[in-house]
Structure 1
Amino acid sequence: MPMILTGRPGAGFRDTALFRPRSVLLHADPALPESSILTRNLREGRFQGRLMAEGLEGFEPPEGAPDLAILCVAPDAQAQAMQEIAAMGCHAVVVPTAAPDLAEIAGSAGIRALGERSFGLALPGIGLNATLSHLHVPKGRLALMAQSSAIARAVIDWAAAEGLGFSHIIGIGSNEDLGFALGLDWLARDSGTACVLLDLRRIKQRRLFVSAARATARTRPVLALRPGGRSDDPSGVGEAVMDAVLRRAGILRAAGFEDWLAAAETLARTRPRAGTGAGDRVAIVANGLGMARLAADAAVAQGLQLAELTEATKAGLGALLDGRAARNPLALGASAGGRLAEAAKVLAAAREVDVVMAVHAPEPERTPAASFATTGMRGRGAPILLGWIGEASAHDERAALSEAGLPVFDTPEAVARGAAHLAAERRNRATAAELPDSDVLKVEPDRAAVRALFAAARAEGRLSLLEDEALAVLGAYGIATLPVWRAATPARAAGAAVAVGFPVALKAHALLRHKSEVGGVLLNLRDGASVAAAAAAMAEEVPRRAPGVALQGFLVQRQAPRGMMELRLRVGDDAMFGPWIGFGQGGTAADFAQDEAFDLPPLNLPLAHGLIARTRLSRLLPGFRDRAPVNEPAIADALVRVSQLLIDFPEVASLSVNPLFADARGVLAADAALTLRPEGETPVFAILPYPAHLSAEFTAPDGRVFEIRPIRPEDAAAHGEHFRSLPPEDVRFRFFSALRELPPAMLARLTQIDYGREMAFVALQGGKILGTARVIREGGGTAAEFAVALSPTAKGTGLGQHLMTRAIAWARGEGIRELIGQILADNQPMLAFVRRLGFTLSRSDEDADVMIAKLPLSPEREPSG
């Protein structure tokens, strides 16, 4: 169904008008250099629809309402031109030139625009080339979404040399209006796209981008490149946050342009072997021992493993070995000829192999490369990557293999990179389909205490909390802290130290970013006299080294037990993606250690464990030499609690817990700093948190009580059990097929939902799911599909109607204006059910056995019942 965006400028816009136009208008100023390029490319593209322009040969005169307009005029003429285009009934425009006020003029005209400085739009499947390309854009299965015209041209040039074509080229430009989300939502549904390339610089609509990227990456590889990220942000935090965003979306990020194109070439021509696991077991076969060893070295350098061949695989290779031993890497000799391809096929069929690297060096008697293209190198087993080494004789042979659609590379190292890209893509898929444990960390904080602390700080005109206040916030969220005592004078500090117990740490009670740098921290004090003397000295030293800082006394804290690991946990705000959580090495040298991993809230326990695992120090947590193991689950617990703090109190702008001490017993926060946002400032989370406020109870007429709440990832096992409880006939009615079991990937898809674009309410009793109602929309559309299923024991309780009423209310609140569902014509109970809810029914034009149920959701209309 076409996606129609309403409730904002461009209410008449349709995504089909942009990505499947039947008519295109060129509105161009001949004096601009872009105009001649666009005119040439539009003429030569052989567009299958109507091309319109005023007074241009090969174009029809403008007439009627074009689906799409290409606007190429100077900035001072754009507002009037946009109004004229809108008056024709066109609501989609591509702007390849500078347009400083594009969002404003497009909005006032009721138009949605790609640009400014868009590279243009190419849809080779229908012959549309409205780009600034220097070459013809052939049809293929790559999609490119680029902000940079220079990068777009370079990709097109590279693809032409590699024999690759495109399903779409979408020039985002500076994304003043339409951005990445719309294109990604379209590509997620496009069966002609095998791989998506993203050239990212700036993301404006963070939540829409992450949502659309996740939807696209579920069905095909998405590869991202971000030019300038490292040079623009020397701190590296912004880049690390971008990495975290792309990881959560399931997107592979390239290290550079060469890596980006190499990954695209591999993933556009082959797919990782199906299955779980790292996908990093490679088998290497070559026609020379030197090449086999080089390939093995390159594979190990990429972090791949050499597969251990089974006896069955070795036996299958026997006839091809010419007396040689079967091993990995395998060298067949300089005259291997066609045996190289046959051996590669045997290895690809082996279950212990994830990727085959077949490396060919020039032979004394040349073997035509074309023979490889005709020996069935593709199959259901492991993918085969070819390395055709050499230049004088090998160049044309590589071209022939590439033209045949085979993944071929010019060096052993390039083959290994290709294998690494396949392994990374398989890990992405496995991570996306990974089913978390049903264990959910229940955080029951003292929100009232936190609210009071924040209110008190604001009442004093402060946005920064003092150390003891920040530690109290952590304590309210169940994170253990080292107790701290306030003392107004050195004498009282000494008395507090006696009460706390020696040894103690003495700290300045003041708003200081780094206390140790100004003499504000003294450790290992072992008696009252030394505490009093240290406090007196601190009272003089801190004001001298930090002029203007008000010293409010002292903090006395029992010193942490010896041998605990120092960690740092912190929260910040990224200009592009909002709140982030960082974890890594702590202590005074934390900033120099550069051992920190980042993720986005919300975090659950699996995500928290993953965040910890991405640091170097994670390898030390199990214990080493004389160091005892550290309680890693306690660290993950603390990360989830901080994530919940951010969700409950989005007014938290920054938080640093350093050190967070950890040992086998758990964690202890010893120091913390927390800053609030100015009054009225609210962050936008890139990933929508779990909507716990939608949870409630439902009491059935028979007195049974059900817990109704949105589904969550940890429900995977319970949801699988619910599916198994459904009778075969109900399964056929729900899924239009006779499924016996939901595969892990489908379970992950059904439980790991994006709450911004879909909702699934589950009904539970005793921890078991007894019913679900689901609403799914594509992108920002105003129409959505629905589905409902009940276990046999829950039928007749009114639960199904209650679930659907909740789902309908959610849909209306999200701006959805129509619910649509497909119901088998012989599913009489469901047909009667939706009639009672006010749905209208009609027979499908495409399948006489299917009924289409529709329910308009105007603000005034409530569902029946």
Structure 2
Amino acid sequence: MELPLALPRRQSGFREAALFRPGSVVLVADPTLPEAALLAANLAAGGFQGSLHSVGLAAAGLQPAPCIAQLPEAPDLAVLCLPPEAQEPAMMDLAARGCFAAIVPVAAPDLAAMSERTGVRVLGAHSFGICLPAIGLNASLSHIAPRPGRLALLTQSSSLARTIIDWAAGEELGFSHIIGLGTNLGLGFALSLDWLARDAQAGAVLLDLRRIKNRRMFISAARATARTRPVVAIRPGGRQADLSGAANAVMEAALRRAGVLRVSGLEDLLSAAETLARLKPSQGRFQSTLAGDRLAIVANGQGPAQLAADAALQGGGHLAEWDEGVRESLALMLGQPAASLGNPLVLPPQRSHRLAEAASLLATVRGVDSVIVVHAPTIGQDSEATASAMAAATKANRGAPILVGWLGEAGAASAQRRLSENGIAVFSTPEAAIRGALHLAADRRNRAAAAELPARDVLELEPDRTEVGRIIDTARAEGRRDLNELEVLQILQAYGQAVVPGLPARSPAEAVKAAMQIGFPVVLKILSPDLPRKTEVGGVVLGIKDVSSLRATATHMLAQVKAARPDARLDGFLVQRLAGGTQRGHELRFHLGDDPMFGPWISYGRGGTASDFEPDVAYDLPPLNRTLALAMIRRTRGARLLEGFRDHPAIDTGLIVDTAVRLSQIAIDFPAIEDLIINPLLADAQGAMVLDASARLRPEGSVSLLAIPPYPAELARPWTARDGRQLMVRPIRPEDAAAHAEAFRSLAPEDVRWRFFNQLKEMPPAQIARMTQIDYDREMAFVAIEARPGETSRTAGVARLIREPGRNDGEFAVVTLPSWKGQGLGRHLMERLIEWARSQGLESITGQILADNRPMIGFVRALGFSITRPEADDDVVEARMALN
């Protein structure tokens, strides 16, 4: 909902802890509303460790007050169950009493504006409420009391919340947080995810995601959360809202970039929750594997084993393989011939009690990422004893995770319950167990991809932005949003993209002159901003071989197009060289588009006239580097053809990757472009060339923000050291990972201890990713880069500033390599950091310094920092600088 720009904003005293860890709560309710009694009962029965008050209704367990102003204390959190006309007066009274966090579980048509006017930050409208079982807070519309646990649920739907809570109760799963956003008019996903990212009580996070308000804040918060725990999301109604499926594909691409696992529906969400919530942190070997989807199946029946294997292969997984040594160990353990102990491993029903032993051994086998145990009902076997053995084996397991499919209903319920109570992921069918294992694999891949360390290779672009601006300004001046093909090709050329040579012509006679200059054979196209699909009106003719044919074709084309589209603006013709040689090439398509929720996106797939019907398309969000662009291309089935297949020659994939990176940079530099299609990009053994393209501008005055902040290249500046050596000081980027690791290895041990507060010998890849893949809206790291001719660039120093979301201060760190000390580099990096902090509106910056690091203490004092020593820690001092 858009708010008037002139709307006054009241200063808010909102604190996140008041919402997510309150010490006192008040229910302000109209007793005639049906939600009031349920909220009062849930609050009173939850065992809340703080104080509970009520205004407007009497309820057991809640201390009544005649009005908000007469509450005995300023509550941290208010639950407003009031009709719309009573909500703003209540919010004003809350603000006057010092309460700035509230939940609105009912309709509130003007909620966002009321929040702005009063300064009270609100969950709602139609919020399910908030449950924090660890402290006994149940300020929700739940039908049962959620039990404490590690799941966190962030939802917009009350009915889905109740469904998931009910399911979790049956599965013996509990929650750390249940947060209901409702219609998401007030507090949104980003604030809640940022809290969950910092709260050690939260384990796997489940998202019911329908509408976000700030795409950039959401992606940033989701990525911060997914760095430390699994995050799984569904989007109810996504396909209904966009029958093409593009919006769903864009959301999946956005979540992938954040490291979030997108699943298709409630069944998959619950399956993922069952698996991810029960995977112990100690089972960490799985987290370090690269594949994640190599599954070992052990069962007590051939049929269930085969169903599990089929499900694994159909779901894109792989059946793990093991060598003869493993077979011999299994044979010795199980008393079966080694030749029969493949994958799936099938035990006779009478040996079902040995399933746990087999699973434990397979979990330690190299090349096994997950073990799936499938138990079918048996005769003459004690299923309770088998379940107990499985529970013990899984608890003791330190190898790959073990998931259990315990089949049956009446006879299986007791065993399933026993396994659940012991924290084991248990499913009722082989397919569900396999799906859980594949969710583990997908979550690992997503989170690993979000933290992948790209190569040093960067496509350095030097585009002619002036020329592109001229083309856009010309179209604006002429009152049109659509660009003709020549203009779009010129934009692509300005970014270094190869395009088929061509010349414009205003008449058939000029077309002949252009063809003679280019050389026959040629392609003739009608030139019009109103005809993006020129072939549909006869606006494209290929392979014209001589002057007479060209003249006749041009005259006929002009008449034909005018008859078919008399309303279209015609700018003449485009005469192009006929592309393609003797070898068969690939027609590919790139599309830069815009999504209402996540903004600009880029897709890649097969090109040509049938591309609109080709489902083999991959999506991603700009900005793209070469690593991300290559990953997008490889997500298509057709990517295998690029390596060469039958009559298709092998293609230099790097040229296609570079096209994606160029298109990404166009999206960053010129947000006025709403839509740009390259179709086809002809890729063959000679190169990759754009044959046709179209583009459309946004309505004048409208803008679209990238969901992921682009690299701030404008902050790069050269710097000269005291001894004359030259450095480039610029923001860090993901491709600096290798140089960052090398710089760390060059630090003296004392510098490492002073910078990291311990004696690290090697920086883990995950930490390198965290330090080089930064969110430029939240933090900044300036690196000083030394480039020597013929050598790989090296890092000479880095200064970093990190701020918590929603706060106006940040924490700094700075380090320079030994060979650059005494050159003024550290001071320059800190000055750049302070300059950036002021530009972001920060009020202060602080830093923790070891008390024995006297050189750093003297350094920051000289910069103007004040030094204080915290009472609780004699080993550390704090440096602080006020910026206002």
Structure 2 match to 1:27: 28
Equivalent residues in 2 for 1:515-594 (5 A)? Answer: 515-562=534-581, 563-594=584-615
After the TM superposition, which of the residue ranges 53-62 and 772-781 deviates more from structure 2?
A: 53-62
Equivalent residues in 2 for 1:124-139 (5 A)? Answer: 124-139=133-148
How much has 1:508 moved relative to structure 2?
A: 1.0
Alpha carbons 1:345, 1:377 under 8 Å: kept: no
Query: SS state of the match for residue 772, structure 1?
Result: strand
Say if 2:437 is the partner of 1:424: no
Q: 2:348 is matched with which residue: 333, 337, 344?
A: 333
Structure 1 unaligned blocks of 5 or more:
1-6, 859-865
Q: Aligned equivalents of 1:41 and 1:10: distance in 2?
A: 32
How much has 1:378 moved relative to structure 2?
A: 4.2
Q: 2:121 is matched with which residue: 91, 112, 121?
A: 112
Q: Aligned equivalents of 1:84 and 1:32: distance in 2?
A: 21
Aligned residues with identical type, % of pairs: 56
Q: Aligned equivalents of 1:764 and 1:635: distance in 2?
A: 29
Task: Name the aligned partner's letter for residue 853 of structure 2.
Answer: N
Say if 2:579 is the partner of 1:595: no
Structure 2 match to 1:163: 172
After the TM superposition, which of the residue ranges 410-419 and 362-371 deviates more from structure 2?
A: 362-371
Say if 2:496 is the partner of 1:493: no
Structure 1 match to 2:453: 435
Query: SS state of the match for residue 753, structure 1?
Result: coil
Query: SS state of the match for residue 483, structure 2?
Result: coil
How much has 1:8 moved relative to structure 2?
A: 6.2
Alpha carbons 1:86, 1:111 under 8 Å: kept: yes
Structure 2 match to 1:610: 631
Say if 2:669 is the partner of 1:654: no
How much has 1:307 moved relative to structure 2?
A: 1.4
How much has 1:376 moved relative to structure 2?
A: 4.8
Q: Aligned equivalents of 1:159 and 1:316: distance in 2?
A: 39
Task: Name the aligned partner's letter for residue 561 of structure 1.
Answer: G
Say if 2:325 is the partner of 1:304: no
Query: SS state of the match for residue 849, structure 2?
Result: strand
Can you list the C-alpha shifts for 1:269-297, whole angstroms capped at 9, x where unaligned?
01671314121111121223333333222
How much has 1:603 moved relative to structure 2?
A: 0.6
Q: Which has the higher contact order (CA 8 A, sep 6+)?
A: 1
Query: SS state of the match for residue 24, structure 1?
Result: strand
Can you list the C-alpha shifts for 1:110-131, whole angstroms capped at 9, x where unaligned?
1111111111011111111001
C-alpha change, 1:538 and 1:376, in structure 2 (3 Å) is closer
Q: Aligned equivalents of 2:784 and 2:54: distance in 1?
A: 58
How much has 1:804 moved relative to structure 2?
A: 1.2
Structure 2 match to 1:862: none
Structure 2 match to 1:861: none
How much has 1:10 moved relative to structure 2?
A: 5.2
Query: SS state of the match for residue 660, structure 1?
Result: strand
Structure 1 match to 2:870: 844
Can you list the C-alpha shifts for 1:134-169, whole angstroms capped at 9, x where unaligned?
111111000000011111111111111111010000
Q: 1:283 is matched with which residue: 296, 308, 313?
A: 296
Equivalent residues in 2 for 1:152-551 (5 A)? Answer: 152-270=161-279, 273-325=286-338, 326-363=341-378, 364-368=380-384, 369-511=387-529, 512-551=531-570
Query: SS state of the match for residue 569, structure 1?
Result: strand
Alpha carbons 1:716, 1:747 under 8 Å: kept: yes
Can you list the C-alpha shifts for 1:220-263, whole angstroms capped at 9, x where unaligned?
00000000000110122211111111011110001111011101
TM-score (norm 2): 0.94
Say if 2:717 is the partner of 1:696: yes
Structure 2 unaligned blocks of 5 or more:
1-7, 66-70, 788-792
Can you list the C-alpha shifts for 1:761-792, whole angstroms capped at 9, x where unaligned?
11111221111111112222223221111111
Task: Name the aligned partner's letter for residue 51 of structure 1.
Answer: L
How much has 1:666 moved relative to structure 2?
A: 1.6
After the TM superposition, which of the residue ranges 805-814 and 140-149 deviates more from structure 2?
A: 805-814
Q: Aligned equivalents of 2:346 and 2:596: distance in 1?
A: 53
How much has 1:9 moved relative to structure 2?
A: 5.0
TM-score (norm 1): 0.96
Alpha carbons 1:655, 1:672 under 8 Å: kept: yes
Q: Aligned equivalents of 1:291 and 1:239: distance in 2?
A: 34
Task: Name the aligned partner's letter for residue 658 of structure 1.
Answer: N
How much has 1:630 moved relative to structure 2?
A: 2.2
How much has 1:434 moved relative to structure 2?
A: 1.9
Equivalent residues in 2 for 1:7-22 (5 A)? Answer: 9=10, 11-22=12-23
Q: Aligned equivalents of 1:839 and 1:32: distance in 2?
A: 56
Q: 2:822 is matched with which residue: 787, 796, 804?
A: 796
Paired residues, what number?
852
Q: Aligned equivalents of 1:731 and 1:714: distance in 2?
A: 22
Q: Aligned equivalents of 1:603 and 1:676: distance in 2?
A: 21
Alpha carbons 1:498, 1:527 under 8 Å: kept: no
How much has 1:488 moved relative to structure 2?
A: 2.2
Task: Name the aligned partner's letter for residue 274 of structure 1.
Answer: Q
Q: 2:844 is matched with which residue: 815, 818, 828?
A: 818
Alpha carbons 2:132, 2:176 under 8 Å: kept: yes
Alpha carbons 2:585, 2:648 under 8 Å: kept: no
Q: Aligned equivalents of 1:808 and 1:569: distance in 2?
A: 41
How much has 1:362 moved relative to structure 2?
A: 2.1
Task: Name the aligned partner's letter for residue 23 of structure 1.
Answer: S
Q: Aligned equivalents of 1:410 and 1:459: distance in 2?
A: 66
Q: Aligned equivalents of 1:838 and 1:56: distance in 2?
A: 57
Can you list the C-alpha shifts for 1:746-766, whole angstroms capped at 9, x where unaligned?
111110111111111111112
Q: 2:704 is matched with which residue: 683, 695, 717?
A: 683
Q: Aligned equivalents of 1:856 and 1:96: distance in 2?
A: 41
Can you list the C-alpha shifts for 1:40-88, whole angstroms capped at 9, x where unaligned?
1100111111111134332124222111111110011111111111111
Alpha carbons 1:10, 1:112 under 8 Å: kept: no
Q: Aligned equivalents of 1:387 and 1:820: distance in 2?
A: 52
Task: Name the aligned partner's letter for residue 68 of structure 1.
Answer: L
